[in-house]
């Protein structure tokens, strides 16, 4: 990651974290941009901010605990005020590709339970049309082979995601599933692609359509806000 991308993530995260108030239930996203937000929320908590957080991954749960953020669960707090999360790509309709880190299932559950979903990114994530990043699909391991065949028949160029530390083993999600990355070069019609991803064995996919409330994108030394058109 370039230092400008990392500065842009910091700016976007800080802008989102400034929107949090006492008494809120906060969804804590996953990935490197969300990690910055979690750190900043932790600083505010240690200065007296009264909130509780719902982490979207085991990794974010660890970060939040280290940052002294009090945690809750969807069982205890089924309605979330604001979720702050990153994205791998977004377009100007605020369609998102998420799941580069494999956290898409819990992220989507938390996003759907949130009054507001604030997406924080650097300027490399904006893309019209959506392109430049595969669409992750979380699948039940039992159904992998027939699903791979179906995806291939639909020309979706599926690739089973492997662990980054051991390329001979599949990556396993927090919910013990596999991720298949669809190497689609360009997504001109995100809803059409979404409608194809309904086969048995698919648990969830990384297209987040009509979910984001707004995007805060760091660009240079500024933060740009994108609202849904
Ligand atoms: O599974 C990972 C999440 O969807 C992340 O929010 C997404 O991959 C963006 O991550 P980063 O902020 O590291 O670019």
pLDDT digits (tens, 9 = 90+) for 164-219: 999 999 999 999 999 999 999 999 999 999 999 999 999 999 999 999 999 999 99
Please indicate if the annotation marks 100 as binding a ligand.
Answer: yes
Question: Where are the domains positioned within the chain?
Answer: 4-127+209-227, 130-204
Please indicate if the annotation marks 88 as binding a ligand.
Answer: yes
Quote the percentage of the chain above a pLDDT of 90: 97
Please indicate if the annotation marks 81 as binding a ligand.
Answer: no
Question: So what's the pLDDT on residue 228?
Answer: 83
Percent composition of the chain: helix, strand, coil (DSSP 3-state, to 5): 30, 30, 40
User: What's the 38 CA to ligand 1 centre distance in angstroms?
Assistant: 13
Q: Active-site residue among 8, 61, 107, 138?
A: 107
Nearest atom, ligand 1, residue 102 CA = 1
Whether residue 98 is predicted with pLDDT greater than 90 in this model: the reply is yes
CA atoms within 13 A on the CB side of 229: 5
Options 3.30.70.260, 1.10.1200.10, 3.30.70.940, 3.90.1150.170; which CATH number does 130-204 get? 3.30.70.260
Max distance between CA atoms of the chain, in angstroms, equals: 55
Q: ipTM value of the model?
A: 0.98
204 beta partners: 138
Q: 99 CB less than 6 Å from ligand 1?
A: yes
Identify whether 107 is a catalytic site residue. Answer: yes
- Say which CATH architecture domain 4-127+209-227 belongs to: 3-Layer(aba) Sandwich (3.40)
């Amino acid at each position: 990651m370039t230092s400008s991308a990392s500065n842009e993530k910091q700016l976007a995260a800080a802008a989102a974290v400034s929107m949090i108030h006492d008494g809120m239930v906060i969804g804590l996203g996953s990935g490197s941009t969300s990690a910055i937000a979690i750190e900043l929320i932790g600083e505010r908590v240690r200065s007296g901010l009264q909130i509780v957080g719902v982490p979207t991954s085991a990794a974010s749960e660890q970060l939040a605990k280290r940052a002294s953020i009090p945690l809750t669960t969807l069982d205890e707090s089924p309605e979330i005020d604001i979720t702050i999360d990153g994205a791998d790509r977004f377009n100007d309709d605020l369609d998102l590709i998420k799941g580069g880190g494999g956290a898409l299932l819990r992220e989507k559950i938390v996003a759907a339970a949130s009054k507001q979903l604030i997406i924080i990114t650097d300027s490399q994530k904006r893309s019209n049309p959506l392109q430049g990043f595969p669409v992750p699909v979380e699948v039940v391991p039992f159904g992998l082979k027939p699903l791979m065949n179906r995806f291939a028949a639909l020309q979706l160029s599926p690739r089973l995601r492997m662990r980054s530390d051991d390329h001979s083993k599949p990556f396993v999600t927090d919910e013990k599933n596999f991720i298949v990355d669809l190497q689609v070069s360009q997504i001109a019609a995100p809803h059409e692609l979404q409608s194809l991803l309904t086969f048995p064995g698919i648990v969830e996919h990384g297209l987040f359509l009509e979910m984001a409330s707004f995007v805060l994108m760091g660009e240079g030394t500024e933060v740009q806000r994108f609202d849904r058109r």
